[in-house]
Amino acid sequence: MRCARAIRRGCRGVLLSVLAVTTGCGAAAGERGDAASAAATGFTAALQRADGRQACALLAPSTLDELEKSEQTSCDRAVIQEQLPAGDTVRTVDVYGDQARVVLTDDTLFLAHVPTGWKVTAAGCTPRPRQPYDCTVKGG
């Protein structure tokens, strides 16, 4: 079980690395970018209001599950306890198919497009030279 989780984390790290390296090639314009941006700012607005329930509604299912497991409490409590940055101004949006990176004034979020819309897969992310982003909250 632990090996499978480590492999999934490794794969996710590769995806985040690819997004970080290829930011110049992403699509920022259009409805998809606007929708990803809206989901990211909705998430951070919920954090600013300390509305854990709304913030959790904007998390991808695997991210929500991993947060609850790692913090051993409900998502609505755990997401507030993480004290994530709550930047509200979007600086850049990069969309790559069903994946997006939204850079805010104080945070970088990664999102995935699922049937119900854009959901946050990682938050509290900081870039590292030649390595994947280091994210406080991420899926398992």
Q: Which residue carries 């069903």 as its tokens?
A: 98
- Percent of the chain at pLDDT > 90 equals 73
Question: Can you tell me the distance from the alpha carbon of 117 to that of 122, in angstroms, rounded to the nearest whole number?
Answer: 15
Tell me the pLDDT tens digit for each residue of 62-106: 999 999 999 999 999 999 999 998 777 999 999 999 999 999 999
CATH architecture of 2-138: Roll (3.10)
Q: What does pTM read for this prediction?
A: 0.79
Question: Can you tell me the distance from the alpha carbon of 71 to that of 78, in angstroms, rounded to the nearest whole number?
Answer: 6
Say if CB 138 and CB 124 are below 8 A apart: no
Going from the C-alpha of 101 to that of each of 17, 70, 72, the distances in angstroms are 11, 24, 28
Tell me the pLDDT tens digit for each residue of 94-120: 999 999 999 999 999 999 999 999 999
Domain boundary assignment for the chain: 2-138
* SS3 assignment, position 22: coil
Residue 40: pLDDT above 70?
yes
